[in-house]
Chains A and B, each alone.
Chain A
Amino acid sequence: MYKYLLQSVDYINAFGILALCIFFGVFCIALLRVFLGKRSTFEQQAHLPLED
């Protein structure tokens, strides 16, 4: 039933593919940049709640 819906809208598949591309792009960049950061800075920030 849904096949003719998709046929009537040009390039509807692009929406889903675009969504996944955006997600993977953002996620992969975030992963890389977090794991290349300095450990000591992360430890300092993690202690913030314990400072008061």
Chain B
Amino acid sequence: MSRVEQFQYDNRIVRAFGIAAFVFAVVGMLVGLILAAQLIFPDLNLSQYGIPYASFGRLRPLHTNAVIFAFIGNGIFMGVYYSLQRLLKTRMFSDALSWIHFWGWQIVILLAAVSLPAGLTTSSEYAELIWPLDILITLVWVVFGINMFGTILKRRENHLYVAIWFYIATWITVALLHIVRSFELPYSLFGSYPLFTGVQDALVQWWYGHNAVAFFLTTPYLGIMYYFLPKAANRPVYSYRLSIIHFWALIFIYIWAGPHHLLYSAMPDWVQSLGTVFSVMLIAPSWGGMLNGLLTLRGAWDRVRQDPVLKFFVVAVTAYGMATFEGPMLSIKSVNAISHFTDWTIAHVHVGALGWNGFLTFGVLYWLWPRLYRTRLYSVKLANIHFWVGTLGILFYAIPMYWSGWTQSLMWKEFTSVGTLAWGNFLDTVLQLMPMYVVRMLGGTLYFVGVCIGVYNLYKTAAQGSFVANEAAEAPARQPLVAVAGQYWHKWIEGRPMQMLLWSTILVSIGGIVQIIPMVFVESQVPKISTVKPYTPLELAGRDIYIREGCVGCHSQMIRPFRSETERYGEYSKSGEYIYDRPFLWGSKRTGPDLHRVGGKYPNRWHYDHMIDPRTMAPGSIMPRYPFLADNELDLSQLPDKVAVLRRLGTPYPKGFEKRAIADAQMQARQIAGKLRAEGVEEEGLENKEIVALIAYLQRLGTDIKVKNPE
């Protein structure tokens, strides 16, 4: 009989992460509301006043990073730190590491909040942060890993409950994803170019991007669900067997699904097919998790009526089920042909984010806070109000976005009886969406109001209670693991965290290896087009301005092989056209038209006027104004370093070209400025303004290939 040991659980770190989760819920969703408002009232971009920091393009990544990494990230750590200690019957490995982790994470968030509006971005979705922050994230993640695995190794409970498998898989996979996505070569303290280019960059990006959804938004939250749902319902999980199957199937299959973001793009067909097939297979393990969660409440449904925590959990798990059915459906090529680039994708994302992640976090907070403060929840009525307001918010968000997504797609694809596009002016399709955008903003506001109610409720709960910083506990010392003949095989690995880590690593690596390595090493996957040349230095400067302003958030550069797209935009996009695109800028959403073949379509003067005030060229346009581009001095000083880095990465600039880069750019700038003057622009010093570089880039787009007209 082993001796009983006394110890204490650390609740201070749990509280810290919980407070941070709620703070960044408010911040991140407020930025989301601002974005929603900007689409309806473009003057809210503030860029017409010379303020570049608040435009849609710059704020969108701030919103996504704030809600994913700040809100949900802190929510993950809150749940992990609370449940890990209690499942393993031990305090965290190191209090110091816990606090380094906490403050390190918040510092990354604060630096992101400064750098992203400042236009410092890599433009890779959910990996926008610049390379110094990538390094900081790595360090913080390593600290988290040491703390988590140290705790697992000093545990008193031998068996690793299912939640902990999810935490282990999360940790290793996020580490892998972050490291590979961060393969980049800096050209300055704030800028870098990715190792991969064009089509390969797109594949690596969406291998990363989809698995950020999988292993940051899903697996840790499944772990949290597996702990907190049984606790709140006071019943064990429905089927432990199911949890084993769905865990291993989920972590293996999810990794392959990335190419479903690239269907009908210039990605090779075999990669697209793998993405589709594995995405459809993903329904099974995802629904395994959903069913396990919902069926845990068998016999406890009467309590759901009274308990707001269970209400939040039920909607969260249901939203998870909906999103994980819809996702595979959207991965089918014929469905994706309709949905890609539309608001349907936005609807899908927000059902998952608001329903699954948001509601699960609030449910956990409502369950946890009274226990941390040894009191009752301040107001069950307010919690119920939060629930209903939030649920209405989700509905008023998602339904208009489905409607606007289908509207966009149907209008983009409609032909007249004589075979021309029915809605040839892209702007007509945008203006149709305004009523849906207004309702979506109402939905977001409702959800936000619910969050504010929750903040008030938990604040009052804390105020009336007394915080238990270190919670006393006792448990027998750990027994050595003894193999028993006939024990089921999985029990062997459940007591061995390092083997669990190793096998998880192997399984999550397979998908990436099979999909990415051929794309990177087999040159014939991306056929070269001899007329495609590297960007000139001025075009490079303009491209970096395009990236800085976040244009990729609204404009795609990928014309799919549909007649509706080739009629509207020109020849469909070939993989060989992107071989010098670092980073790739295919985009995920068309709030504005595709730009891949905009080069030569409009005169320079059109672009000049359009940037200063889009509504002069396109009445009713919701694009922000960029008058400061005509005022800002064009900084070419980094061009030599940029060219040198690109040459090192494989772009075939001539040796020594970096020494001529600035002169080359200035010469091209003078040519463009001369043309603008000839077209009536009277501004002084035009050749030294940023707008000239952006025009150079835009006029280059899609002009590398010449399409033969049919005889």
Question: Chain A residues in contact with chain B, CB under 8 A?
Answer: 1-2, 4-6, 8-9, 12-13, 15-16, 18-20, 22-23, 26-27, 30-31, 33-38, 41-43, 45-50, 52
Chain B residues with CB under 8 Å of A34's CB are: 241, 244-245, 488, 490
Docked pose: A30 CA to B378 CA in angstroms: 46
Judge whether B252 and A43 touch: CB under 8 Å: no
Which residues 256-279 of B have a CB within 8 angstroms of A?
Answer: 256, 268-270, 273-274, 277-278
Judge whether B161 and A16 touch: CB under 8 Å: no
Which residues 226-267 of B have a CB within 8 angstroms of A?
Answer: 226-227, 230-231, 234-237, 239-241, 244-245, 248-249, 252-253, 256
Judge whether B270 and A30 touch: CB under 8 Å: no
Interface flags, B167-201, vs A, CB<8A=1, else 0: 00000000000000000000000000000000000
Chain A residues with CB under 8 Å of B240's CB are: 42-43, 45-46
Given contacts A42-B240, A43-B236, contact A36 B488 (CB under 8 A): yes
Given contacts A50-B231, A50-B234, contact A38 B488 (CB under 8 A): yes
Judge whether B489 and A33 touch: CB under 8 Å: yes
Q: Which stretch (B324-332, B518-526, B534-542) binds chain A?
A: B518-526
Docked pose: A38 CA to B241 CA in angstroms: 10
Chain A residues with CB under 8 Å of B237's CB are: 46
**Interface CB pairs A-B, < 8 A, 19:** A6-B270, A8-B527, A9-B525, A15-B270, A15-B518, A16-B270, A18-B514, A19-B274, A19-B510, A19-B511, A20-B277, A26-B507, A27-B249, A30-B248, A35-B241, A37-B491, A38-B488, A48-B157, A48-B159
A-B interface, 7 closest residue pairs, ranked by CB to CB distance from nearest: A37-B488, A46-B236, A2-B269, A42-B240, A8-B524, A46-B240, A48-B161
Judge whether A49 and B270 touch: CB under 8 Å: no
Judge whether B525 and A31 touch: CB under 8 Å: no
Judge whether B86 and A52 touch: CB under 8 Å: yes
Closest to B248 in A: A30
Smallest Cβ distance from B265 to chain A, in angstroms?
A: 12
Q: Which of A4, A31, A49 has most B Cβ within 10 Å?
A: A49
Docked pose: A31 CA to B163 CA in angstroms: 20
Q: Which of B159, B240, B277, B522 has most A Cβ within 10 Å?
A: B240
B487 within 8 A of A: yes
Chain B residues with CB under 8 Å of A23's CB are: 252-253, 278, 281
Interface flags, B144-170, vs A, CB<8A=1, else 0: 000000000000010101110000000
Docked pose: A36 CA to B511 CA in angstroms: 28
Judge whether B234 and A5 touch: CB under 8 Å: no
Judge whether A49 and B87 touch: CB under 8 Å: yes
Smallest Cβ distance from B586 to chain A, in angstroms?
A: 17
Docked pose: A52 CA to B248 CA in angstroms: 27
Smallest Cβ distance from A4 to chain B, in angstroms?
A: 8
Chain A residues with CB under 8 Å of B543's CB are: none
Q: Which of A12, A13, A20, A45 contacts B159 (CB 8 A)?
A: A45
Docked pose: A8 CA to B206 CA in angstroms: 25
Chain B residues with CB under 8 Å of A33's CB are: 488-490
Docked pose: A37 CA to B248 CA in angstroms: 16
Judge whether A5 and B488 touch: CB under 8 Å: no
B497 within 8 A of A: no
Closest to B83 in A: A49
Chain B residues with CB under 8 Å of A27's CB are: 248-249, 252
Docked pose: A18 CA to B245 CA in angstroms: 21
Judge whether B270 and A13 touch: CB under 8 Å: yes
B681 within 8 A of A: no
Chain A, interface SS category: helix
Chain A residues with CB under 8 Å of B593's CB are: none
Chain A residues with CB under 8 Å of B87's CB are: 48-49
Judge whether B241 and A37 touch: CB under 8 Å: yes
Chain B residues with CB under 8 Å of A52's CB are: 86, 89, 473
Chain B residues with CB under 8 Å of A2's CB are: 268-269
Judge whether B86 and A5 touch: CB under 8 Å: no
Closest to B231 in A: A49
Docked pose: A8 CA to B489 CA in angstroms: 44
B494 within 8 A of A: yes
Docked pose: A4 CA to B108 CA in angstroms: 46
Closest to B473 in A: A52
Chain A residues with CB under 8 Å of B230's CB are: 46, 49-50
Smallest Cβ distance from A40 to chain B, in angstroms?
A: 11
A8-B524, A19-B278 given; name 9 further pairs at CB < 8 Å: A9-B525, A15-B514, A20-B277, A27-B249, A30-B249, A33-B489, A45-B159, A50-B235, A52-B86
Closest to B494 in A: A45
Chain A residues with CB under 8 Å of B514's CB are: 15, 18-19
Docked pose: A33 CA to B490 CA in angstroms: 8
Smallest Cβ distance from B612 to chain A, in angstroms?
A: 40
Chain B residues with CB under 8 Å of A1's CB are: 561
Q: Which of B231, B236, B249, B256 contacts A19 (CB 8 A)?
A: B256
Docked pose: A26 CA to B234 CA in angstroms: 34
Chain B residues with CB under 8 Å of A35's CB are: 241
Docked pose: A39 CA to B11 CA in angstroms: 35
Chain B residues with CB under 8 Å of A42's CB are: 239-241, 488
Docked pose: A3 CA to B252 CA in angstroms: 29
Q: Which of A9, A20, A38, A47 contacts B522 (CB 8 A)?
A: A9
Chain A residues with CB under 8 Å of B89's CB are: 52
Chain B residues with CB under 8 Å of A26's CB are: 248, 252, 507
Chain A residues with CB under 8 Å of B273's CB are: 16
Closest to A6 in B: B270
Chain A residues with CB under 8 Å of B270's CB are: 6, 12-13, 15-16
Judge whether B274 and A5 touch: CB under 8 Å: no
Closest to B162 in A: A45
Judge whether B490 and A5 touch: CB under 8 Å: no
Closest to B491 in A: A41
Q: Which of B227, B239, B256, B487 contacts A41 (CB 8 A)?
A: B487
Given contacts A30-B245, A52-B86, contact A5 B525 (CB under 8 A): yes
Chain B residues with CB under 8 Å of A5's CB are: 268-269, 524-525, 527
Docked pose: A46 CA to B542 CA in angstroms: 58
Docked pose: A31 CA to B248 CA in angstroms: 10
Chain A residues with CB under 8 Å of B159's CB are: 45, 48
Chain A residues with CB under 8 Å of B157's CB are: 48
Interface flags, B460-501, vs A, CB<8A=1, else 0: 000000000000010000000000001111110010000000
Chain B residues with CB under 8 Å of A9's CB are: 518, 522, 524-525
Closest to B88 in A: A48
Chain B residues with CB under 8 Å of A13's CB are: 270
Docked pose: A40 CA to B486 CA in angstroms: 13
Smallest Cβ distance from B226 to chain A, in angstroms?
A: 8
